[in-house]
Amino acid sequence: MGLDLYFFKKDINIQEVRNNISNLYEKLRAIQEEIEQAEDIYDNAKLADVNITHNLNKMADAVGLYEVLWKPDEIGITTASQMIPFLEKGIKKLRENPEKYKTFNAPNGYGNYEDFVRFCDSVLHWCNKYPNSVIEANG
């Protein structure tokens, strides 16, 4: 154990500053607890999540799925069931003409046709499993 000596300016009420710091830390702890509770609610509400690189946005656009996947709210899609027909049509197009869509593979190698097809299949799976779920896209 050691001894710490502190020297403060004469015109500062150190006890008042300490009390203020203590009160602020109490507020911070309360806010942190509130954030943790909100995060728990968010995590418990999440049924599934999938991710794909933005490098495949041109492929998504070419097959008619960019807005559906990246910006569903802008085209009025709010629930998973509303995505299903678009996904089915897009996946069919992807599978019917793979060479056309492979031209949109990411030049840096991060993101390709196969990745995008698997992603779309996965999204369709979750849409079918949870058709009434609310969709949130962040990208």
Give the pLDDT score at 97.
97
What are the pLDDT digits (tens) for 77-104? Answer: 999 999 999 999 999 999 999 999 999 9
Q: Which two tokens stand for residue 29?
A: 């702890």
Domain boundaries, the chain: 12-45, 54-129
Q: What is the DSSP string of 25-56?
A: HHHHHHHHHHHHHHHHHHHHH--------GGG
First to last CA, the chain: 52
Distances (CA, A) of 139 to 54, 55, 83, 122, 136: 7, 11, 17, 17, 10
pLDDT tens by residue, 42-74: 999 999 999 999 999 999 999 999 999 999 999
